[in-house]
Structure 1
Amino acid sequence: MPTTEAPIIPKRQAWRALTALCIGLFTTMVDQSLVAVAIPHIREDLDASVNQVVWVSAIYLLMFAAPLLVTGRLGDRFGQRNIYAIGLALFVASALTCFFAPTIEMLIVVRAVQGLGASLMNPQPFSVINQIFPKHRRGAAMGVWSAVAGSSGLIGPVLGGVIVGTAGWRWVFLLYVPLGLLALVMTLRWVPKLPTAVARIDLTSVVISIVAVFAVVFTLQQGPETGWPVWIWGVLALGLIAAVVFVLLQRRASRLQLPALMPLELFSIRNFTLGAISVTTLGFTVYSIQLPIMLHLQSGAGLSSQLAGLLIMPMAIVSISLAPIVGRLADKLRPGIVSMIGFSSLITAMVLFASLMRPGIAPWWLLIPIVLLGASNALCWSSNSTISMRGLPRHLIGAGSGFYNTARQVGAAIGSASLGAVMQVGAQTTDISSAMGNAMLLPIGVLLIGLIAVSQFRSDLPDLAPAQN
C-alpha cells in the first residue's frame, strides 16, 4: 500500500507543472533530429560549406552538454523554476533569431546561445519532480518525463520532413516559438518556487568542468569528421586532464568540508551510480541508432524520407503510451526488475534489427523491432530515472540531475562517433543495408553493461527526498 505523504502542492497542480516542463523539454530534445533534416536546405540557401553547416548541429550539442554539471547546481542555488524559465526564454529568443538569420555565421552563433538555453532547462525537471510529487507517484511522473525525452528524437525526422518540405527550413526554428512561449507562461503560472541552497558555487570548478565536457564531446563529434588528426587527440588529452583536475578539486572540497560543484558523496549512493552507468549505455544506443535505421530504409530499401519516417512512428507512439504505465509499475514493483526487462527487450530489438536490415528483406518486417524498441524505451528510461534519483537527499538533487543528464549526453556522443566509424568501414566492404545492419550489433555489448548495472539496483533504500509541506 503506498505511503501517504503531504505534497507541497495539490496533485492537480503538480501534474500541470509537469506538463509545462515537458512541453519545454520537448522543444530542446526534438531539436537535434528536427534540425538535422533541415541541414541540406540550410547549406543550399545560405551558400555554406559542409564544415560550416555541420556546426549548426554540433555547436548546439556542445553548448547543451558542456555546462550540464553547472546548470543543475544553478537550479539548487537560484531556484529550479527561475533557471528553467531563463533557459526557456533564451531558447525561444534564439529560435526566433535563427528564423531571421541572414548568414551561416550568425546562425551558428545563435545556435550556440540556443544550446546554452537548453542546458539551463534540462536538469531542472528532475529536481522539480522529486520535490513536488510524493514517492508513490514519482515513478508515474518520471514515466511521462521519460516518454517525452525518449520519443522526441523519434518524432523529429517525421516532423522535420513535413515542415521543411512544405514551408522551408526557417520554419523549423519558428515552430519552437509558440511552443516555448506556451511552456513559459505555464511554467511561471504552475511550477512552484522551491527551496534553494545558499552555498556558493566554486567558479574554478565551473570553468574546469565545462572545459572537460566540452573537449571530450568536441573530440567525439569532430574526430570522425576530420579523420582524427594529431590536434584532435590533443583536445581529447586536454579534456581528460581537465576531468582529472576536476575530480581532485571535488575531493579537496570534500576533505575540507567546502561546497563542491559535484559532491563525491553522490557516488556513494549505490542506485545513483548504477543509474548513471546504465543511462550512459542508453544514451549510447538510443541516440545513435536512428541514423543507420534511416539510411537502411532510404538508401537500402529505397523508401522516401516521409515513408521512412512514418515507418518508425510506431516507436514513438508505443513509447509515449507505455511510459506512464511503466512509471506506475516502477512505483509498485522493484524498479530493477522493470529495468532488466527493458534492457533485455532493447538487446533483443538490436538483434532483430541486425538480422532484418539486409538486402531483399521487406522493410515492413522492421515494424517488429521498431515496436519492441518503443516498448523498451518506456521500460528503460522511466524506471532508470525513478530509481536513480529517488534516493538522493534534497541538497544533492541538482548536482545529481546535472551529472545524470551529462552522462546521457556523453553516452550519446560516444555512441554516435562509434557507430559512425563502424558504418563508414562497413559501407566500404559491403552493401549499404548490410553495413547498417552490422552496425546495430555494436550497441549489444554496451547494453549488456547497462543490464548488469540495473540488475544490481537495490529496492530497500530509504527515500531521502520526499515531497513535504
Structure 2
Amino acid sequence: MTAPAEVERRYNPWLVLIALCLGFFMILLDTTIVNVAIPALATGLNAQLSDLLWILNAYILVYAVLLITAGRIGDLYGPKLLFMSGLVIFTAASAACGFAHSPTQLIVFRVIQGLGGALLTPQTLSVITMIFPPERRGAAFGVWGSVAGVATVAGPVLGGWLVTDYGWRWIFYVNVPIGIIALVMAGIVMPNLKLNRRHRLDVSGVLLSTAALFLIVYGLIEGQSHDWGKVWGPITIVEIVAVGVVMLAAFIYLQWAERHGEPLVPFSIFKDRNFSIMNGVVSAISFGMLGLFLPLTIFLQSVLGLTALQAGLTTAPMSVISMFIAPLAGRYADKIGGKWILSLGVALFAGGMAILLSSSQLGVSRWHLLPGLIVAGFGLGMTFAPLQTIAMRNIEPRMAGAASGLINTTRQLGGVVGSAAVGALLQAQLSSKLGTAATENAGKLPAQYRESFINGFKDAAGSLDVGAGQNAIKLPAGVPASAAHALDAIGKTVFDTGFTNAMRVTLWLPIIVMGVAAVSVTLVRHRRAAGPGASPEPVEDPVPASH
C-alpha cells in the first residue's frame, strides 16, 4: 500500500488540484451562465416559465441523481477514468446545447450535460481527500472553493457579455475549449489512483433512487402549471410526489438495512455526526443559492430593464468577494477548525439575502442591491472550505468516493428542491399578485378591455413571457394602436408590481432555510486534539496504478 506522501512524490498534488478545479470550474460556469441567460432563452426559443424551469432543473436533476453512483463507479474503476469520461460527455453535450432549436431539444441536451457533470464532480473531492493529508486539506479545499467563486463571477459577467453581444448559444459553446484544456491536462498530471478493495454497484438502489427523485422533482416543477391536479389521465401531481416520497423512503430503508450486499449509500458514513450535519448544511446553501438566482435574474432584466451583461455585473461583487474570502477561510479552518467560520458564513449569506429582499422594490436602481450582495458574498466565501473540511475530515480513503458522491448529491438535491420549490412558490405568488395588480390598474383602461385584461394576468403565472424587455402579456390581433399602447404600458406596470411583490414573498423561503442551517452548524463536534504528526489511520490507502 502506498501512503499519500508517496503519491505526492510521484505526482505534484497542486498540479492535480489545478486539473480537478478546471473541470469543476466548467460545471459551475455552465450553471451560472444559464441563469443569467434566462430571459434570452425565453425570447430566443419562445420558452415559457415552465420550460425555463425544466431547462434549469433537467440538468440538475440528472446530475444529482447520478452523483452517488458515479462516486461508487470511481471507487471501482478509478477516479481518473470517470473524471475524463465526464469531461468528454459534458463538453460534447455543451456543443449540442448550442445547436438546440427548441426548448425540448435544449432540455434533452441538458440531461446529457447532467450525466457528464455527475461522472466528473465526485472525483474532485475524492482525489483531493486521497492525495492531501488531513492537515493540508483545508488549504486545498480553500482553492477548490475559490474556484467556485471564480465561476460565479465569470458566469454572470462572461455569460452576460456573450448573450448581449453574440447570443445565448455562446454560453454553451464557451465550454468546449475549457473542456478540451481540462481533458488534456488531466491526462498528463492526474494520477490513476486505485484502492485495494473493489466495490460492487447496487443496481437496484440506483434504479429506486433515480425513480424516486425524478417523481418528487417533477411534481415540484410541474405542480403549479397543473394547479396541483391531474397531469396524466387520472394521475395527479400530489399522487406523483407521494409515490416518489414512498419510493425514497423504501430506498433509504433498504440502504440502511444493507439487503443488497454493498449498499449504494453506506450508512456507516453517517455515524460521523459532523458529516451528517454538513450534508444538511450544504443542501441548505444550494437551496439558498439556486432559490435566489431565478427570481433575481428575472427581476434585474425584466423589471429593472438591465441587459444580460449589466445583470451579470450587478451580481459580480458577491462572487468576487467570495472568491477572495474562500482561501482565507480554508487556511483558518485548518488552524482553528471550521465550525464557527462556517456558522458565521451561513448566517451572513442569509442576512445578505434578507438585505437584498428589503432593497428589491419598484423604482430602485441596481446600486440599491449592492449592500445585500456584498454581505452575501462574505458569507458565501466563508462556507466552501470549512464545510468540506469538516465533512471529509474523518472519512477513510476507501470511502472517499462514496462520501464525495453523497455530499455532492445532497448539495445538488438542495439546488433541485430549492429551484423547484422557489419556482413553484413564485408561480403561486404570481397568480395572486398579478391578479391583484391587474385589478388595481384596470380602471385606467377602456371598459371593454378591463375584464380580459384582469383574467389574462390571473391565468398567466405558469406561461409568462419573461424575456428581457417583455411585459408578460400578448395583445390580441386587431387592437387599435392607441389602446395597444395603453395596454402595453399598463401591462408593464402590472407585471413589474406583481412580480416584485411575488419575489419579495418567495425569497423568505430560502432565507428561512439558510437560517436553520446556520443554527445547525453549532451542533458540529470540535476537532479532537492530536499529537505531533498524528493523523487518522486509514483502513485502506490509495495506490497509484502502474503505468
Q: What TM-score, normalized to structure 2?
A: 0.78
Q: Are the equivalent residues in 1 in contact too, given 2:29–2:154 (CA < 8 A)? A: yes
Aligned to 1:320: 323
- Confirm whether residue 440 of structure 1 aligns to residue 507 of structure 2: yes
1:8 is paired with a residue whose SS is helix
Aligned to 1:459: 526
Aligned to 2:249: 244
Question: In structure 1, which of residues 253, 256, 269 is the aligned counterpart of residue 258 of structure 2?
Answer: 253
Unaligned runs of 5+ in 1: none
Q: After the TM superposition, which of the residue ranges 199-208 and 155-164 deviates more from structure 2? A: 155-164
Question: In structure 2, which of residues 361, 367, 390 is the aligned counterpart of residue 364 of structure 1?
Answer: 367
Aligned equivalents of 1:371 and 1:201: distance in 2?
Answer: 44
Cα pair distance change 1:226/1:27, threshold 3 Å: farther
Aligned to 2:227: 227
Q: Are the equivalent residues in 2 in contact too, given 1:392–1:465 (CA < 8 A)? A: no
Aligned equivalents of 2:537 and 2:400: distance in 1?
Answer: 8
Aligned equivalents of 2:220 and 2:115: distance in 1?
Answer: 19
Aligned equivalents of 2:372 and 2:340: distance in 1?
Answer: 21
Q: After the TM superposition, which of the residue ranges 49-58 and 291-300 deviates more from structure 2? A: 49-58
Q: After the TM superposition, which of the residue ranges 140-149 and 454-463 deviates more from structure 2? A: 454-463
Aligned residues: 464
> What's the CA shift for 1:303?
3.5
Q: Are the equivalent residues in 2 in contact too, given 1:131–1:465 (CA < 8 A)? A: no
> What's the CA shift for 1:10?
4.5
Q: Deviations over 1:318-369 (max 9, x none)?
A: 1111111111111111210111111221232123112222334443132122
CA-based RMSD: 2.8
Cα pair distance change 1:447/1:182, threshold 3 Å: same
Aligned equivalents of 1:338 and 1:46: distance in 2?
Answer: 44
Q: After the TM superposition, which of the residue ranges 171-180 and 23-32 deviates more from structure 2? A: 23-32
> What's the CA shift for 1:381?
2.1
Cα pair distance change 1:234/1:382, threshold 3 Å: same
Aligned equivalents of 1:49 and 1:411: distance in 2?
Answer: 24
Q: Are the equivalent residues in 2 in contact too, given 1:295–1:436 (CA < 8 A)? A: no
> What's the CA shift for 1:105?
4.8
Unaligned runs of 5+ in 2: 231-235, 438-496
Aligned to 2:113: 114
2:141 is paired with a residue whose SS is helix
Q: Are the equivalent residues in 1 in contact too, given 2:38–2:298 (CA < 8 A)? A: no
Aligned equivalents of 1:134 and 1:368: distance in 2?
Answer: 39
> What's the CA shift for 1:39?
5.3
Cα pair distance change 1:65/1:309, threshold 3 Å: same
Q: Deviations over 1:90-132 (max 9, x none)?
A: 1112222333446655444333222101111111111111111
Aligned equivalents of 2:346 and 2:38: distance in 1?
Answer: 33
Cα pair distance change 1:51/1:270, threshold 3 Å: closer
Aligned equivalents of 2:132 and 2:76: distance in 1?
Answer: 21
Q: Which amino acid aligns with 1:253?
A: E
> What's the CA shift for 1:417?
2.9
Q: Which amino acid aligns with 2:513?
A: V
Aligned to 1:449: 516
Q: After the TM superposition, which of the residue ranges 459-468 and 357-366 deviates more from structure 2? A: 459-468
Cα pair distance change 1:174/1:18, threshold 3 Å: same
Q: Are the equivalent residues in 1 in contact too, given 2:217–2:420 (CA < 8 A)? A: no
Q: Deviations over 1:4-49 (max 9, x none)?
A: 9836225982121111111111222222332344455556656777
> What's the CA shift for 1:234?
2.6
Question: In structure 2, which of residues 304, 309, 312 is the aligned counterpart of residue 309 of structure 1?
Answer: 312
Question: In structure 2, which of residues 282, 289, 294 is the aligned counterpart of residue 291 of structure 1?
Answer: 294
Q: Are the equivalent residues in 1 in contact too, given 2:326–2:383 (CA < 8 A)? A: no
> What's the CA shift for 1:153?
4.3
Cα pair distance change 1:269/1:54, threshold 3 Å: closer
- Confirm whether residue 418 of structure 1 aligns to residue 421 of structure 2: yes
> What's the CA shift for 1:386?
1.2
Aligned to 1:72: 71
> What's the CA shift for 1:298?
3.5
Aligned to 2:176: 177
> What's the CA shift for 1:395?
2.4
Q: Which amino acid aligns with 2:212?
A: A
> What's the CA shift for 1:200?
1.4
Aligned to 2:233: none
1:234 is paired with a residue whose SS is helix
> What's the CA shift for 1:270?
0.6
Cα pair distance change 1:346/1:262, threshold 3 Å: same
Cα pair distance change 1:295/1:58, threshold 3 Å: closer
Q: Are the equivalent residues in 2 in contact too, given 1:7–1:133 (CA < 8 A)? A: no
> What's the CA shift for 1:133?
1.2
Aligned to 1:376: 379
- Confirm whether residue 340 of structure 1 aligns to residue 380 of structure 2: no
Q: Deviations over 1:216-242 (max 9, x none)?
A: 222222323443224322322232122
Q: Are the equivalent residues in 2 in contact too, given 1:353–1:440 (CA < 8 A)? A: no
Aligned to 2:281: 278
> What's the CA shift for 1:137?
1.6
Aligned to 1:391: 394
Cα pair distance change 1:49/1:374, threshold 3 Å: closer
Aligned to 1:93: 92
Aligned equivalents of 1:302 and 1:42: distance in 2?
Answer: 16
Aligned equivalents of 2:358 and 2:537: distance in 1?
Answer: 45
Q: Are the equivalent residues in 1 in contact too, given 2:352–2:373 (CA < 8 A)? A: yes
Aligned equivalents of 1:181 and 1:50: distance in 2?
Answer: 33
Cα pair distance change 1:26/1:223, threshold 3 Å: farther
Q: Deviations over 1:51-75 (max 9, x none)?
A: 6665443322222121112111111
> What's the CA shift for 1:78?
1.1
Q: What TM-score, normalized to structure 1?
A: 0.90
